[in-house]
Chain A
Amino acid sequence: MTERLRVHVDPDRCQGHARCKALAPELFELDEYGNAHEAGDGTVPPGLEDKAWLAKSNCPEIAIDVIEE
């Protein structure tokens, strides 16, 4: 079964807690203020699916979407 995931950070909700960067550094980047956005187009490389869900479920601002494609 090949399920492709993509992560997306809602920039209006993100407050820079940086939990996603700590838990899934491959999937997220921080700007100069420490606010997060997805790395590249947000595509989750195979093997990192668990980290994508972990980042989502630890974001205090509910700013992260994990989209199943």
Chain B
Amino acid sequence: MSDISQPAAHPPVTDWVHDFDHTDPQWTEDPFPIWDELRAASPVVHTERFLGCYLPTTYEAVREIANDSEHFSSRRIIVRDVRPEITSRNSAPPITSDPPVHKPAKQLLLPPFTPDAMKKLEPRVRAICNELIDGFITEDRLDAAERYTKHIPVRAIAHMLGIPETDSDLFIRWIHMILELGIKDENTLLQAVQEMTVYFSAHIEARKTKPTDDLISYLMNARDKDGNPLEDSHVLGSLRLLLIAGIDTTWSAIGSSLWHLARTPADRERLVAEPGLVPTAVEELLRAYSPVTMAREVVKETTVSGCPVKPGNMVLLSFPAANRDPKMFPDADKVVIDRRENRHAAFGLGIHRCVGSNLARMEMQVALEEWLKRIPDFALDPAGTVTWSQGTVRGPRQLPFLLGKAM
């Protein structure tokens, strides 16, 4: 990755309530006390950074915004230092679409991601997990992010799209360029988008003469309500979305889950003894360590939880902060792996509910089940350092573990 320039650093934050910055190292490392401080100050706070941006801090404020596409547009969904021009080349329908364009674009993507469709994919994901574990089962220390969590979602989505699982490193590089470096460096962002366009255009062209049984062909064969095929730019946008949204999000969620279990022996032992509890635990881990923060752009003046918001500003739609709101979740700051009532918003709320939520849940369950089956004993390696990704998606990028007898 030596050809990727490092983005400019922001000045450090000294006043979180009036000058928050979700790319600040303190936020990246441990955002939870910051969210508590901001929530105590106001349901909506503002920063002048990123050309002006609000942050709703409560579950209710997040829900209000998520359900209000009239005042809050999805045309920009990542808070950056710049506001790149909106074109078909960087749009990714339906996540960047507003009503009325949104619904048909979303409905197109939903059938391949239903729970039943995911059941068919599950054996491949279970095999991927076991192939990865086979690669390190005899070792006594490893970076679980580099060797395990990173590879599961990218291979699963490659399998669904019908592109080589061996191209995984390329996809991971683009995602890093778009979601992390691209926050502060527009050229890196555009370079990644351009490379992805070239890559997927070749796959689309190949399928024009030789159709395949995969998600790329599915999108190419899809018809809009007038019976017309989608334009190539729409297919490309959706492919870009599936690749970006489907990878480091779930990579992060699996990583945070293993991180929690590595440092919480009671929860780990309970899940080993009661594997049937894994789906419930996955929901709680999604709540407590939600990886994804979305964004909106204010397009019309309004109020949120009594706070005025003005056009021209972005909104950092922090589902992770909403999920830590003690008004919504008793013991919000504790991981309760058998929590019964859990209306968490990890996959968003309203019309933009994550299209891949069933895929992510399946991957998380399978990744934890297979890991716990074969590696019931593991802990953080005190000689190593856990590092977290910055910005839109939060999860461990280095996860040094001691396994089994090395503990």
Contacts and interface: CB of A to CB of B under 8 A. Distances in A.
B353 A58 contact: no
Interface string B324-360: 0000000000000000111111010111010001100
Contacts of A16: 110, 353
Interface stretch (B111-119, B208-216, B260-268): B111-119
B279 interface: yes
B115 A22 contact: yes
Interface of B: 107, 110-111, 113-116, 279, 283, 340-345, 347, 349-351, 353, 357-358, 361
Q: Is the interface of A mostly helix, strand, loop or mixed?
A: loop
A48 B312 CA distance: 50
A60 B114 contact: no
A60 B345 contact: yes
A25 to B, nearest CB: 10
A66 interface: no
Nearest to B346: A60
Given A16-B353, A32-B110, A57-B343, 16 more contacts: A15-B349, A18-B114, A18-B115, A18-B357, A21-B115, A30-B116, A33-B110, A33-B114, A34-B111, A34-B115, A34-B358, A57-B340, A57-B341, A58-B343, A60-B347, A60-B349
Contact of A22 (B113, B279, B345): B279
Interface string A38-67: 000000000000000010011111100000
A58 B342 contact: yes
Contact of B341 (A21, A33, A34, A58): A58
Which range contains the number of A residues in contact with the other chain? 10 to 19
17 contacts: A15-B349, A16-B353, A17-B357, A18-B357, A21-B115, A22-B279, A22-B361, A30-B114, A30-B116, A32-B110, A32-B111, A33-B107, A33-B114, A34-B111, A54-B340, A57-B341, A59-B343
A8 to B, nearest CB: 18
Contacts of B341: 57-58
Nearest to A14: B353
